[in-house]
Amino acid sequence: MAVLIWAPQAADDLDAICTFITRDSEAYARDFAARVVGAVEMLQEFPAAGRTVPEFQDPSLRELLHGHYRIIYELIGDSVHILAIHHGARLLRERSSR
């Protein structure tokens, strides 16, 4: 079973998305957060479930698609590092370091 590690950026992303959704519906924001966390927790059992991020072509850098969002993560040994939750309509910036 893989260890999940949330980067501060990913936690901030989820918080910001939920804050935005809360403007319309607190219930939907809670549901969205629960579904994202559930998708991420699935990676403990199936860490390679996501596809390779097309912009980088690095097999260790992967993503799960969740609605309009991309959950970006990196496989490092026996751990899954959740790096960001990014809206699919926005471009990904180049990675500066791992």
Q: What is the set of domains in the chain, with CATH numbers?
A: 3-87 (3.30.2310.20)
Nearest CA to 58 out of 81, 85, 31, 32 is that of: 81
28-79: per-residue pLDDT in tens?
999 999 999 999 999 999 999 999 999 888 999 999 999 999 999 999 999 9
For residue 17, pLDDT beyond 90: yes
pTM of the predicted model as reported, rounded to 2 decimal places? 0.89
Residue appearing with tokens 């924001």: 29
Which one is predicted more confidently, 14 or 55?
14
Contact 80, 5 (CB under 8 A): yes
Contact 53, 61 (CB under 8 A): yes
Confidence label for 94 from pLDDT (cuts 50, 70 and 90): low
Contact 80, 3 (CB under 8 A): yes
The pLDDT of 6-27, averaged and rounded, is 97
Exposure of 13 in the CB half-sphere (CA atoms within 13 A):
17
Confidence label for 92 from pLDDT (cuts 50, 70 and 90): confident
